[in-house]
Amino acid sequence: MRSPTTRTYSRNKLVWRICKLERCYLPGLARLSSLSCESFHDPLHKYSCREELPRSCALLPGPTSLPIGFKTNLVRATEMNQRLLTPKTEVTRFICGGFALGIRLNHTMADAYGMMQFLNSISELIKGASAPSISPVWQREQYLNARSPPRITCMHHEFEQIRQSRDFMDSDKLFRTSIFFTPKVIQALYNRLSLSGSSRRCSRFDLIIACLWKCRTNALNPSNPDETVRLSVITNLRGKPGLKIPTGYYGNAFVYPAAVSTARILCTAPLSYAVQLIQNAKAQMSEEYIKSVADLIVIKKRPKYATDWNFLVSDITRLRGEKIDLGWGNAVYGGVAWATSNLSFCTNFKNSKGEDGVVVPICLPPLAVEKFKYELEEMTCEPLCGM
């Protein structure tokens, strides 16, 4: 079969096949928006423009949503009501002829990896495959159950509730923005790391989140300099030795080990200090640590992760959401719609200049925004796109 990018498919037929797979119905034309796909080449507008879309459109789902924008026409649209992976899926048309596919996910059923597996399966099926190349697997009781009897054998700072000195993020008026890290900005961070005398090898993700953790903490300005601050790294468990999680497993399979410091030391120490803390936290990810997390969840009756001075970050660059092809070619953007008060994501993005980089949405109190921007530009010695 020829590549779908040759557009030999009937668009109506493609939409019909999506609907058949989703057991949905066609209410009529897609929801209309005054935006265009060009809006999503601007890192700042990409996260703010969701306010301009209809309330129930693709870019306005809940905390775990995956908008995907395509530069093409969509003649018909679907309004789906799923019982499992996608309780709500909607398509929004833009004035340029492109569209956004927004999916609202029940996170108790799947994580980001599982969601991408689901979308890739739909992509294969609507292109004519008789079955997905990777069969879905559930059976979480075989892979991620607690031991009997359960026992906590490791330190888990990510669940340690520490009362904060002030409730700085409890506000409905948080400012949502995003930062686009170009290759030049990332290289500037590597240069800063080298100047601090560090010889440690460091991934792009570790470097970016170390920078954000320092700048965010400085901007929020803890009233107690000895406040305990944390950064939790959301980490995929698939492929970890000893767990034997099958390739097709789509349920939740992640933990979020935490790097811990006092605000004073984090803000005054060189960037290499934050990088080392993050790498040490990720190094905890042994089979025993993961089993200890499962046991803790049972013993403490599903506790929520720590929220006080805890910044959670997930790297979804490897999921390649922008490569999802539903018959019209690759997406302009594929990733989570927006950040929450303490949760951000690193996503692949190409700006209007054609530069490939990493975009990170973030939420801050309005009074902290200028300070955050100042700290970032001091750290990178570059003006940042998106703020």
In the annotation, is 41 catalytic? no
Query: C-alpha distances in angstroms, 148 versus 253, 294, 295?
Result: 20, 11, 9
A 10 A CB-CB count for 376 gives 23
Helix (H, G, I), strand (E, B) or coil at 130: coil
Please tell me which residue in 107, 170, 226, 356 is annotated as part of the active site.
Answer: 107
H/E segment holding residue 119 = helix 112-126
Q: Which amino acid, 175? A: F
Say if residue 149 is preceded by a cis peptide, omega within 30 of 0.
yes
Which tokens hold the place of 41?
Answer: 């080449």
Contact 214, 374 (CB under 8 A): no
Please tell me which residue in 111, 295, 308, 325 is annotated as part of the active site.
Answer: 325
Query: C-alpha distances in angstroms, 262 versus 79, 211, 245, 274?
Result: 48, 16, 36, 11
In the annotation, is 295 catalytic? no
If we measure between CA atoms, which residue out of 58, 65, 126 comes closest to residue 91?
A: 58
Q: Residues with catalytic annotation?
A: 107, 325
